[in-house]
């Protein structure tokens, strides 16, 4: 009940509005009583983040699996729509510095973040496996990046060469960058509707990965 109410406050007012005293008043208990269930506000926020990640991942997993490879683009579109409809949630999950590196399943926020990352990375790997020519056309990975990318691959547990990891990260940066700038209104002065620009980005990604790009019906 506490985390659900905190989740509702996040959607309407943002993360800063989630306080023990505020939640206590709404739930008819004292603020300190919240600490019987959560060790701190940060612990409560971790549970809220985990809940939001699960909601988002359910949506993405419903569209990502497609035999023709369109699932990757469908998930990218779904993430954009979700971000535009959930500004506070997007800010909490994707606009805050990632300071913790102990991503264990004991933490609901870390568990949710890992599930989210697996969706896009897993679909990306699946598409590369069926299109070996994509990696053959990539330039060799710069030597100074290879150790870091090898560490990243070891952490994810996926079977990719460093060139594949670099291509995935470049793809993700493009998807995330477009969504973040639109969600934060960074290009509203130039383009009130960024969907066309986003679809151009997805078309370019599709061409790189050998996928068919079909813009959604407007």
List the domains of the chain with CATH numbers.
Answer: 1-38 (1.10.10.60), 46-209 (1.10.357.10)
**Residue 29's pLDDT is what?**
76
**Residue 41's pLDDT is what?**
83
Question: What average pLDDT does the segment 108-131 reach?
Answer: 90
**Residue 66's pLDDT is what?**
67
Does 85 have pLDDT greater than 70? Answer: yes
Q: Are 107 and 46 in contact (CB under 8 A)?
A: yes
The Cα-based distances of 137 to 13, 158, 164, 210 in angstroms read 47, 20, 11, 11
Q: Which of 27-31, 70-74, 173-177, 181-185 has the highest mean predicted lDDT (pLDDT)?
A: 173-177
Residue 11 pLDDT level (bands cut at 50, 70, 90): very high
Does 69 have pLDDT greater than 80? Answer: no
Question: What average pLDDT does the segment 163-186 reach?
Answer: 94
d(CA 62, CA 19): 33
**Residue 218's pLDDT is what?**
63
């Amino acid at each position: 009940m506490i985390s659900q109410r905190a989740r509702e406050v996040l959607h309407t007012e943002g993360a800063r509005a989630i306080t023990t005293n505020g939640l206590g008043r709404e739930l008819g208990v004292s603020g300190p009583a919240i600490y019987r269930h959560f060790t701190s506000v940060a612990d409560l926020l971790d549970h809220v983040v985990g809940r939001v990640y699960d909601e988002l991942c359910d949506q993405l997993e419903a569209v990502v699996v497609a035999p023709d490879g369109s699932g990757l683009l469908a998930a990218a579109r779904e993430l954009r729509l979700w971000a535009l409809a959930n500004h506070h949630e997007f800010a909490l999950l994707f606009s805050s510095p990632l300071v913790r590196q102990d991503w264990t399943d004991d933490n609901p926020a870390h568990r949710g973040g890992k599930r989210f990352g697996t969706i896009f990375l897993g679909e990306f790997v699946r598409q590369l496996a069926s299109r070996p020519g994509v990696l053959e056309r990539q330039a060799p990975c710069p030597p100074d990046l290879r150790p870091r990318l090898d560490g990243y691959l070891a952490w994810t547990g996926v079977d990719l060469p460093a060139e594949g990891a670099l291509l995935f990260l470049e793809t993700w940066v493009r998807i995330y960058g477009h969504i973040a700038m639109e969600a934060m209104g960074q290009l509203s002065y130039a383009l009130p509707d960024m969907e066309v620009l986003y679809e151009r980005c997805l078309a370019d990604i599709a061409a790189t990965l050998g996928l068919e790009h079909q813009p959604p019906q407007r």
